[in-house]
Amino acid sequence: MKKIIPVSYEVVPIPSVPTAEKMLKIAEAVEPLDQTAEVIRAATFKWTTVLVQKSSRPLTWSYFATIAAAQKQQTQERKLRTDWNFVMESEQTHNKMILHGYLVAPLLPVYNIHEILNSLIDFRWFQCFDFYQAGTKVAHVHVTGTTKVSPEQKEYSKVSREARECAKLIEMKRSGTYKGLAELSEVCEEQRLQARTLDEIDFNIKYFNVPKKVEFYENVIVDVIKAYLWPFRQMTTELTPVRQQTIQDAPVMVRIVFNKRTPSFDLVIQRPMDITRFNKIRLPIVLDKILPLKAGINNVKHVAQKFSGSTIYPVCIVEQETLRTFDNKTYPLTLDACHRVLAADCTEAKRWGIMARQVPGANKEVEVYVEKSKIVMAESAGILKIILDGQEIQDQVPLNQYLYLVSPLSHKVVARVSATMANGKKVFLVVNSDFAVLFDGENILLETSQLYKGKICGVCGNANQQIKDELVGPDQCMHSTPEILSAAYRVKIPQNCDMVNPMPQSIKDQLRKEKSQCLKQQQIFTKVSKSLNTQNGQCTNLKHSVVRQPGKICISMKPVTQCAIGCLPETPQPLNKRIPFTCFNEDRLGEHYEIKAGRGEKLDELKGRQSHFEAEVPQPRSCVPASNYL
């Protein structure tokens, strides 16, 4: 191969760019940006390519690449504008390619659905490609677009099934007939995602003095799209004027509209030469989990959760007097003047901890401990304040931008804090590499990493994806009720808080009793050999348990141990186990599964269904023929 092509290619890195040259490149890239922006960042680098030829001297090319970005908040319009400028230049020929543009994004509420529906959610963006030869602009391409939530999509988010269920939960919560999560429930979150769905994309492309090769490739791309999407093409009789024959005579306009009820989209490509329409193009199963994107959330995290089928970052929610743990177990939580440990790092490092309490006559207060620093978030005179190691910093926190919190004690960055608006007031988001806390004065959202799976303690649980040990206290003792668990994680901070809201004596006595007994989780092994004889017609059988409820047939998701006819338990003490049940309607499907469970068939498909409730089912440890007891 070397004899046929006596040429080699290598990249030689440059150790560093001279300071003066580097600053000159950065100044040129920053100059077109808005100099009044709050944040301006820039970077530059240089690389060299060497073409080695055996017959002559090596050929060397050097390139500079500089990128600059600026961000400015438009307070009155509640938008955030981001500008960028990318310059790539050849040191030998001075040929240059510049990519500059901007994005204007709306600042959206966090979770108030009415504020989201009343917000104008549109992203306006512009991108320009400029090409220079010997310092002269020879061609450029402009792309201007809008990505938004259409009025039809907002209307759909008001009447969808999730919207009806969300409204029902909120109404039941207000009337006092429902004690679970309402505004922060999963159905309300789904409605918020529907209201944030960016279902319309419009952009146009303008070509200026581009070479014929660009027109050729543009025609090829459009022809490939027409051929690939031919089954979805809509044949029309629309004609365009004959005089417009090239893409430089008029802009190319593209419109994409995602359908609300099916994973498909409509596409229109309008060129100077023709207009092409496609209807209901089916999204591939992979893209169906990605598109359309959602405004105001982390789409990467959202897509990762869809692909994995589980929560990437476990979330604990405190809504008024309701708590949902990291493992999606919901129970009541009543706070008082003393702090409760919501979640903490229970490894040997003990890097962080989060506590909350109910301030008498006011809203909640949250304290975040990161190593030796303390961050306090509390509402005072209707204003949500944030205090870092005794210093108020709420006035320094920008909207939708992060402020790095440097502890005055350790002089280290302990976290980042950002502010956004919800219900007409500020909401603070404190982010650390290990956790994130969102607090609005009343509701608390706590997010942690999967790295802490099973290593967290507090009323939020241990995030081990199991709900059987949600009531484990700080001493690893199993408690009987959520109220006792809350008392176990009660901390007498601040001082004299117990005098303001003393703990009820009955709970004190029960907590003392359970700590003295300290019922810890343990594993009791049954006689496996006898249980495995089920399929051989022996005494011990494994069958799914069936429980009938009004209008429903509930079947255990796991088979339970039962004694066959003519057999009795070997020991009189049964083994009590909590078994999850899934329910079917009293229809043909429910009766079909009831018959299969009665025959003792394995129902592995029930493992993928939702668990509707758990029940403690007494089971024999093993069974023996009845004659043994005579």
pLDDT at 93: 81
Q: Token pair of 594, please?
A: 């009831």
Mean pLDDT, residues 492-505: 89
Lowest-confidence range among 55-64, 300-309, 499-508? 55-64
pLDDT over 70, % of the chain? 90
The yes-or-no verdict on residue 430 having pLDDT over 70 is yes
What 278-286 contacts at long range (C-beta under 8 Å, 24+ apart), as own/partner pairs, is 278/229, 278/232, 278/233, 278/234, 279/232, 279/234, 280/232, 281/229, 281/232, 282/232
User: Alpha-carbon torsion 125, 300, 159, 328, what sign?
Assistant: negative
pTM for this structure?
A: 0.73
pLDDT over 90, % of the chain? 39
507-540 pLDDT per residue, tens: 999 999 888 887 555 556 555 444 444 444 567 8
Q: Which residues, at least 6 apart from 77, have a Cβ–Cβ distance to it below 8 Å?
A: none
Question: Residue 133 is inside which H or E element, if any?
Answer: strand 122-133
451-465 pLDDT per residue, tens: 898 899 999 999 988
Mean pLDDT, residues 413-422: 84
Q: Token pair of 379, please?
A: 């509402």
Q: Token pair of 591, please?
A: 């009766």
Distance between CA atoms of residues 248 and 305, nearest Å: 44
Mean pLDDT, residues 63-73: 88
Distance between CA atoms of residues 22 and 64, nearest Å: 9
Domain regions of the chain by residue span: 7-282, 316-517, 528-629
555-605 pLDDT per residue, tens: 999 888 888 877 888 777 888 888 899 999 888 888 888 888 888 888 888
Q: Token pair of 328, please?
A: 């999606």
Band (80; pLDDT cuts 50, 70, 90):
confident
Q: What is the DSSP string of 428-483?
A: EEEE-SSEEEEE-SS-EEEEE-GGGTT-EESTT---SS-STTTTB-TTSPBPSSHH
Closest CA to 586 of 617, 624, 613, 554: 554
Which amino acid is present at 271?
R
Provide the 8-state DSSP code for 533. G
CATH class of this structure's domain 7-282? mainly beta
Mean pLDDT, residues 401-425: 81
Provide the 8-state DSSP code for 492. -
Across 307-311, 358-362, 459-463, the highest mean pLDDT is recorded for 459-463
Q: Which residue has the tokens 């070997």?
A: 570
pLDDT at 340: 95
pLDDT at 476: 85
Rounded to whole angstroms, what are the CA distances from 167 to 113, 175, 319?
A: 10, 12, 16
The yes-or-no verdict on residue 506 having pLDDT over 80 is yes
C-alpha 325: how far from chain center: 17
Distance between CA atoms of residues 184 and 166, nearest Å: 9
Selected residue with higher pLDDT from 63 and 124: 124
262-290 pLDDT per residue, tens: 999 999 999 988 899 999 999 998 888 89
Residue 616: strand pairing partners: 578
Q: Does residue 292 have a cis bond before it (omega within 30 degrees)?
A: yes
369-410 pLDDT per residue, tens: 998 899 999 988 778 899 998 888 888 887 777 888 888 777
Burial of 230 by CB count in 10 Å (0-12 exposed, 13-18 middle, 19+ buried)? exposed
pLDDT at 531: 45
Mean pLDDT, residues 74-101: 88
